[in-house]
Structure 1
Amino acid sequence: MTHHITVGVDGSPESRAAAHWAAREAVLRQVPLRLVHAVDWPLDPVFPGLGRQDVDRWADHALTGTVRELHEHHPHLEISTRCLTARPAAALAAEAADAALLVLGSRGTGGLVGFLVGSVAMSTVVATDTPVVLVRLADDPEDLEDPEDPDRPSTGARAEVVVGVDIHEACDRVLAFAFEEAARRDRPLRAVHGWKLPAAYTYVPFLDPDDERDIARSVTRMVEDVLLPWRHKFPDVSVSHDVRRGSAGEHLVRASQGAGLLVVGRHVRRSPLGAHLGSTAHAVLHHAAAPVAVIAHG
């Protein structure tokens, strides 16, 4: 059984925002927090002239500084640190193996850059079956729980939880995570599903509005059926659903505005080129305005 949350730390504002988010999550779950700094040595030619002692000094500063900040807000939180010499994606995936959650930082301007850059961040997300949350800096100071703290994430634990629902494949891990987070935060849950017309309609010159309404009602019933057992399991969670025609990724990105957490799934599938994200998760990670939890399933 996992008993802690792991967060990647490098001293950047993005990773500090992730650390603050992870600390609050650890307090909610009443579990310890582990801070991990990973550096791929040697750094040349990216940082010519930078010695190993300089790197170690910077790593110690990043970790101890973050611990000090977090203890100011959460004096009773148990925090441990680890400094690793390894490729960051591989190191964090390994550290996530015995964690309940892995938290990383990303920029608020879109794209996964910050603690990990671009493809490395993607590699981390797909390299572990542990839930991964990516946290970005606030775009608007008024969204912050504490406007004086610029390193807080853009949305807080008081906002609703949004989850993407797949009616075509089992997504129990995704829904379990989303309902547990909503219950833990005492916040409502909004389930979002985007549907498209069956392929046969591609050849139809025009669509009867009644047919579209029938399809929409059918899809809505399927979403309700998927949610029903979870409503029974979490009777105190207020649940709504938003079923719309169109791209699921686009609807989830819109729903992320003002959300406290956006939860999406990714299929655990391997191709000859390695693991990869689906189109919905990919769109959400690059454009969502809220912290995004990626849950491996299937």
Structure 2
Amino acid sequence: MFSPIVVGLDGSPESRAAVDWAAREALPRGLPLSLVTAWIWRPAEVPSAQESEAQKRWAQQLLNETRQDLAAKYPDLPVTVEQVSDLAPRALLESAEDAEMLVLGSRGHGAVSGFLLGSVGQHVLARASIPVVLVRAEEHRAAEGAEAAGEDGGEVVVGIQDRDQPAEELLEFAFTAAAARGATLRVVHAWSRPPVFAYRAVVTGDEDGSVEARVEKELLEALAPWQERYPQVEVVHRTDLATAGQVVLQAARNAALVVVGRRTHRPSLGMRIGPVTHGVIHHAPAPVAVVPHD
């Protein structure tokens, strides 16, 4: 059985956009869709039996209506629904343990959305063992407009940090996403001058050019095995003497999907996701996939 794409649903415009994005992603991959809504009363609250039952009915109605809408719009897409009475982060992480990816709604360009209970998006991102995709409501409207206009929706952009040993999980997700949508994959990498240059008063163009040539050669060598595995994917690449965040965000302007990584060996204290990934999540105009890797 194929692993599903799991979507967190809370009734907000952002989560509904996430559902539609996930449906359009699942269809070409031949994957089922799983809708999950999670709710729990805060410890300080003591709900009556009637209030608790009303909350359950609301959540189930939300799931049923969303499934009906999907059946009308995407009749060939298998959809399951799940209502979980638990804290949202824990419910989402447990429901998505064996999923292909987890998709969440994100509010605006200022911060990652809270899902049901405040900073759930941040919590889930820092602890998920699978890729997490963040989708905004305005992205959904833009995608609908592009679809109506007959456009392909843009490239898949992936930011590579370590060109000598790029994360396999990151490249596999990016190549698979590009292949599924028939999109060009744009690989971007930021590099810096070796420390020896810092002690020289003048850096000649030849010296700088030789370093850039070596950087590009190493990146192409790292990508070669993946291009052999995915010959149908057109790959373009770019290396820049700049900060990683700047390079990814510049490439993301016309992207359909941006793929960045999160190192799983970071300390759990503070739930850090890394400065580059943090910046891309907050400022990229396209959906952002955060892929955990060693």
- Answer whether TM exceeds 0.5 for this pair: yes
Which stretch of the first structure deviates more once superposed, 265-274 or 245-254? 265-274
Aligned-partner SS, 1:242: strand
1:290 aligns with 2:286: yes
- The equivalent of 1:16 in structure 2 is 16
- The equivalent of 1:5 in structure 2 is 5
- The equivalent of 1:163 in structure 2 is 158
Which stretch of the first structure deviates more once superposed, 165-174 or 185-194? 165-174
CA distance in 1, matches of 2:84, 2:194: 50
Counterpart amino acid of residue 158 in structure 1: G
Counterpart amino acid of residue 131 in structure 1: P
Counterpart amino acid of residue 72 in structure 2: E
Counterpart amino acid of residue 258 in structure 2: L
Native 8 Å contact 2:139 2:287 kept in 1: no
CA distance in 1, matches of 2:93, 2:35: 14
| Mapping of residues 83-102 of structure 1, within 5 Å | 83-102=83-102
Aligned-partner SS, 1:64: helix
Aligned-partner SS, 1:295: strand
Task: Give the 4+ runs in structure 1 shifted more than 6 A.
Answer: none
Native 8 Å contact 2:146 2:152 kept in 1: no
Shift of 1:146: 3.8
Shift of 1:28: 1.4
5+ residue gaps, structure 1, are 150-155
- The equivalent of 2:272 in structure 1 is 276
| Mapping of residues 120-269 of structure 1, within 5 Å | 120-138=120-138, 143-146=142-145, 158-166=153-161, 167-269=163-265
Shift of 1:108: 3.1
Shift of 1:99: 0.8
Q: Which has the larger share of helix?
A: 2
Native 8 Å contact 1:266 1:296 kept in 2: yes
CA distance in 2, matches of 1:78, 1:140: 21
CA distance in 2, matches of 1:80, 1:283: 34
Query: What TM-score results when the alignment is normalised by the length of structure 1?
Result: 0.88
Native 8 Å contact 1:194 1:251 kept in 2: yes
Native 8 Å contact 1:261 1:290 kept in 2: yes
1:109 aligns with 2:72: no
Which stretch of the first structure deviates more once superposed, 64-73 or 87-96? 64-73
Native 8 Å contact 1:34 1:82 kept in 2: yes
CA distance in 2, matches of 1:27, 1:148: 15
CA distance in 1, matches of 2:248, 2:155: 13
Aligned-partner SS, 1:19: helix
Native 8 Å contact 1:194 1:244 kept in 2: yes
CA distance in 1, matches of 2:140, 2:16: 17
RMSD value over aligned CA atoms?
2.7
- The equivalent of 1:152 in structure 2 is none
5+ residue gaps, structure 2, are none
- The equivalent of 2:51 in structure 1 is 51
CA distance in 2, matches of 1:273, 1:202: 34
CA distance in 2, matches of 1:116, 1:293: 20
Counterpart amino acid of residue 155 in structure 2: E
CA distance in 2, matches of 1:133, 1:140: 13
Shift of 1:115: 2.9
Shift of 1:286: 0.9
Native 8 Å contact 2:114 2:120 kept in 1: no
